[in-house]
Amino acid sequence: MSTEEKSLHFIEQIIEDSLASGFPQNKLRFRFPPEPNGYLHIGHAKSICLNFGLGLKYNAPVNLRFDDTNPAKEEQEYVDAIKEDLQWLGFNWAEERYASDYFQQLYDWAILMIKNGKAYVDSQSSEEMAIQKGTPTQPGVDGPYRNRSVEENLTLFEAMKNGEFPEGSHVLRAKIDMASTNMLMRDPLMYRVLHRHHHRTGNDWKIYPMYDYAHGESDYIEQISHSICTLEFVMHRELYNWFLDQIYDDTKVRPHQYEFARLNLNYTVMSKRKLLQLVQDKVVNGWDDPRMPTISGLRRRGYTAASIRKFCETIGVAKRENVINVSLLDFCLREDLNKTAPRVMAVLDPVKLVITNYPEGNEEWLEAENNQEDESAGYRKVPFSRELYIERDDFLEVAPAKFFRLSIGNEVRLKNGYIIKGESVTKDANGTITEIQVTYDEDSRSGSGSEASQRKVAGTLHWVSIQHAIEAEVRLYDRLFIDEAPDSHKEKNFLDFMNTSSLEVVNGFVEPSLADAKTGDKFQFQRLGYFNVDKDSIASKLVFNRTAGLKDAWEEKGKKEENLLMATQKEINKYVKEKDSTAAKIILQPIIENIKSIDNFSLLVQTITKNIKNDNNSLLFSNLILNYSSNVYSKDIEQESLSKLYTMSLKSQLAAVRIFGIQNLKKDAKNWSDFQTQLEELKNSEKNEQVLELLKTI
């Protein structure tokens, strides 16, 4: 096998095998089939890149087909947004199609299936049908309407089509096998009555086809050769093929369905229903809110199409589900913007700096490199004057040893400018610094070649000349959720994990070269991160969105929290071994503070569960987390694990484990009564005075 063949992903290998078996290359045809019931999100980007990537690789057409079979949830707004997103990502479709284009053909085929005894009208309620279908371990049974005559089915179906019945009164079902081990094959629905206005067909139809029926037949109409779906459709493949069997003409291409793993991203929700909830509940400001994982939200925030395509290429195409770290998406973004975004200076938390020995009224224009990663980017002129803004946290009056910014008596360089030295400060009545006075070395200008310019100093600061600064609104966006799996916890609502700091709005100042910046323009604010111009900008007021920081602060925080928990667990041993109660309390206090400082819910739950084992120190650690963390509660732990923790804790030889185990039980009303017998037994056998005192209170 050649190197190129080895690098093929499994879908490409399937296509290669098809071609090797004689399938004509000019018959290859793919499609991207979104339902227009919401905006596309980053998960869809993987499918988009896969399908359109195959089209480019094999020089085959790729259709954009809207599976618009549910007018109750679909809107033209979503159609328009999807098309805009695809074009922005850099892909062009061969034909724009709609499942609604085929409503008449689908209806005609349904009539044919009724005549062939393969479909019937069912008049049961949805509850009755659910009971009649059985369970995964129990076969279904034939419904009372399964053997209606062809004539009666045709009459009823025609009346359904004409709007003579209310919604929910009748459905058309395929007649397959009520005993099938695949529950999807137990006479699935083909049509339901819906008196809804359709965004394309208006009120022409009163019945609408179900997705499983329309999807494969639409593939067949369009002569799609390889119908690529995500893994949740594996069980649907049998039904996909059954519907094709009813209409297939062997002179035409028969579509085949193949499944790949969808994109699962941590710190994100991908459910359209939940994303719609965020919009409708005004948790975010619309589908294109820069905190949303939608393509339009990512675009507005400042992500590039190239970075999203690179991300999809990097994660690859696989058969097994896994969760991708959102940090990888940000890495692809930084890698792209690092090469293309101009470097500029902006100050977001300004404090005034006055160079006391710089001539009043004087100004000069310093040369600044636009992007050191791009030789063709050239240079620009930046105005310099006596009064500047710098970041407030770039100055401390008295600095610790490893503070590499400005302080009294210490020198730093102003980016592209001079070396300055902190001299004094002015404060207001509250003690807040309002002005920093410095002196500058006149011979130290960057790039001058002088001896002074070569001098090494502690650090380099960005700045903006007050006289020339342009005020701007800067929106500091962050992740929308603080948990890595916000919608995976049974006892939690995903909204419980909203990041209250996901948006901070500040008024900052930018250098004058940005005066003519346009919506979508991207920049690196030196030392601060990547920013782009938001669509809310107007001529009199620039608005910038923070796209990403220069470093992954979340990854750093995650590692810090993991390391902190591991270090804290080691301190448990010292606490347990300490015989002096006063000294033990001193050791315990930082352990408690560390636990309280951890925000990562999943990490806390995993740590508690992992430490439920026959080891006193581990049991103590789990109990301490459960007792002192404000981010995790007993209801968040699986019942089996929680019961095990209580049982083992009450039997522990270590008094501290018993104490904290009892304290946790006291707060857990749900499990309290289940442990009354064990607590009574403990009262009779307990020797430790602290435990006995605690038991008396219950």
Q: Which residues are annotated as a binding site for ATP?
A: 35-37, 41-47, 230, 262-263, 270-272
Strands 171-174 and 119-122, by their bridges, are antiparallel
* 98 vs 84: CA distance, rounded Å: 17
For the annotated binding site for L-glutamine, the residues are: 67, 211
Q: Which of 412, 368, 367, 369 is nearest to 394 (CA)?
A: 412
Task: Name, in order, each residue with C-beta under 8 angstroms of 330's C-beta and a sequence gap of 6 or more.
Answer: 548, 552
Structural tokens at position 273: 């229903």
* Of residues 432, 401, 402, 406, the one with CA closest to residue 421: 406
Contact 415, 384 (CB under 8 A): no
Residue ranges in 444-577 assigned as alpha helix (H): 553-577
Provide the token pair at 381.
């002129």
35 is catalytic: yes
CA distances from 265 to 183, 315, 328, 495, 605 (A): 30, 11, 10, 17, 19
Give the H/E segment covering residue 209.
strand 207-209
Q: Which residues contact 409 (CB under 8 A, 6 or more apart)?
A: 421, 422
Tokens of 311: 């991300």
- Residue 469: closest CA among 360, 361, 382: 382
Closest Cα partner for 309 from 578, 46, 638?
A: 46
**What DSSP character marks residue 586?**
H
Q: Is 319 a catalytic residue?
A: no
Q: Closest Cα to residue 641, out of 613, 668, 678?
A: 613
Report how far residue 231's alpha carbon sits from residue 367's, in angstroms, rounded to the nearest whole number: 55
Please name which of 474, 492, 476 lies closest in space to residue 484, comparing C-alpha atoms: 492
Helix (H, G, I), strand (E, B) or coil at 202: strand
681 is catalytic: no
Number of C-alpha atoms within 13 angstroms, CB side, residue 335?
Answer: 14
Q: Which of 83, 118, 262, 415 is catalytic?
A: 262
CA distance 614 to 521: 59
Neighbouring residues of 255: CB distance < 8 A, sequence distance ≥ 6: 216, 219, 220, 223, 224, 225, 226, 227, 244
246: left (phi over 0), alpha (psi -120 to 50) or beta: alpha
- Residue 450 carries which DSSP code? -
Q: How many CA atoms lie within 13 A of 674 on its CB side?
A: 13
Amino acid code (one letter) for 406: L
User: Looking at the chain, how many residues does it have?
Assistant: 698
Catalytic residue among 29, 97, 161, 272: 272
Give me the catalytic one of 29, 35, 386, 658: 35
| Angstrom distances, CA of residue 57 to CA of 28, 164, 389 | 11, 50, 52
Answer whether 103's CB lies under 8 Å from 190's CB.
Answer: no
Nearest-angstrom CA–CA distance, 300 and 114 = 50
Q: Give alpha helix (H) positions in 140-287.
A: 150-161, 211-221, 237-245, 272-280
Amino acid sitting at position 417: G
Residue found by looking up tokens 């995964």 in the block: 136
How many CB atoms neighbour CB 599 within 10 A?
Answer: 17
Annotated binding-site members: 35-37, 41-47, 67, 211, 230, 262-263, 270-272
Task: For residues 594 and 137, give the distance between their C-alpha atoms in angstroms, rounded to a whole number.
Answer: 48
Rounded Cα distance, 598 and 576, in Å: 22
| Tokens of residue 582, six digits | 């006063």
In the block, residue with structure tokens 């085959």: 60
Strands 529-533, 406-407: parallel, antiparallel or unpaired by DSSP?
A: unpaired
Catalytic residues: 35, 262, 272
